[in-house]
């Protein structure tokens, strides 16, 4: 039981918001690519959900390995299994390899283009932990990485890439840039002391304005993409709720209220769900 508890802490399986934020973009891409084959849609939805859990878990472990020396100095992260010494780096790497192997087996169920893009996403995922050392824009890189599933799910059905899916992808990047800036705001003080970078630090004087701009760009891109569906009642209603969920986050966001940042960040689980329902409704 002790080893299981450490594994759960290491992979953040006890904190599902992470893998859900990886999964929702996958669900958007799949819903947009829907071709009236409900059984295939549900099958792929399950596969991409499992893939999201596996890859997010592997990513968390690798991130902790890379950041172990920094995590020891941050109040929020110093008790994690690797920096606290509950598990060795060698054993943690074994877990990463096992999780990636299972994710690869899932990836093999799709066409060659999707397999290639899926392998590319692994390179992005394992590059991300280094970004906060070299740029104030690690959240942008996370957006590029975390929303790659939009393109992968699209190609799994269509075996091609078109400009429309890239607009959805770009919209999702700005969504992630916004919510991860909120998440990063929790650690601004510690990160500045130890020399790590983030958009939270870069825009700390106007952080709410920056988040507002990110969310606004995301909304505008989505309105442009789905403009022909705005007359459909279900789509429009759910899309309005989606927009309101982003506005609600901005309403809750108060500078220097770090205890509230995690709550706002987690609220994006509902935001992701609302957009999934919106996109899927265009097929009804």
Domains of the chain (ranges; CATH) run 2-281 (1.10.357.140)
pLDDT value of residue 68: 87
Banded model confidence at residue 190, pLDDT cuts 50, 70, 90: confident
Q: Is the pLDDT of residue 256 over 80?
A: no
Among residues 188, 173, 165, 204, which one has the least CA distance to residue 74? 188
Alpha-carbon distance 169 to 171, whole Å?
Answer: 5
pLDDT digits (tens, 9 = 90+) for 193-212: 888 999 999 999 999 999 99
What pLDDT, in 10s, does the model give residues 133-165? Answer: 999 999 999 999 999 999 999 999 999 999 999
Averaged pLDDT score across all residues of the chain: 95
Beta strands in 96-159 (DSSP E): none
Q: What is the dihedral of CA 183, 186, 192, 193, to 10 degrees?
A: -140
pLDDT in tens, 38-52: 999 999 999 999 999
Mean pLDDT of 246-266: 92
């Amino acid at each position: 039981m002790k080893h299981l508890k450490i594994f759960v802490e290491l992979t953040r399986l006890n904190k599902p918001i992470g893998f859900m934020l990886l999964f929702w973009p996958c669900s958007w891409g799949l819903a947009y690519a829907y071709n009236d084959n409900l059984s295939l849609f549900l099958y792929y939805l399950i596969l991409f959900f499992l893939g999201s859990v596996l890859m997010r878990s592997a990513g968390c472990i690798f991130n902790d390995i890379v950041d172990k020396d920094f995590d020891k100095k941050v109040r929020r992260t110093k008790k994690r299994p690797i920096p606290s010494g509950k598990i060795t780096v060698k054993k943690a790497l074994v877990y990463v390899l096992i999780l990636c192997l299972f994710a690869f087996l899932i990836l093999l169920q799709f066409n060659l283009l999707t397999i290639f893009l899926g392998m590319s996403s692994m390179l992005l995922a394992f590059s991300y932990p280094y970004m906060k050392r070299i740029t104030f824009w690690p959240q942008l890189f996370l957006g590029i990485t975390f929303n790659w599933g939009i393109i992968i799910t699209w190609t799994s059905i269509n075996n091609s890439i078109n400009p429309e899916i890239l607009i959805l992808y770009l919209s999702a990047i700005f969504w992630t840039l916004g919510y991860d800036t909120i998440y990063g705001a929790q650690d601004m003080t510690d990160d500045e002391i130890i020399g790590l970078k983030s958009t939270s630090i870069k825009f700390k004087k106007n952080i709410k304005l920056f988040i507002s701009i990110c969310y606004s760009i995301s909304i505008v891109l989505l309105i442009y993409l789905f403009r022909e569906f705005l007359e459909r009642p279900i789509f429009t209603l759910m899309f309005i709720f989606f927009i309101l969920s982003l506005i609600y986050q901005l309403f809750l966001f108060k500078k220097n209220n770090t205890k509230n940042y995690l709550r706002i960040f987690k609220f994006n689980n509902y935001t992701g769900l609302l957009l999934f329902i919106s996109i899927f409704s265009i097929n009804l």
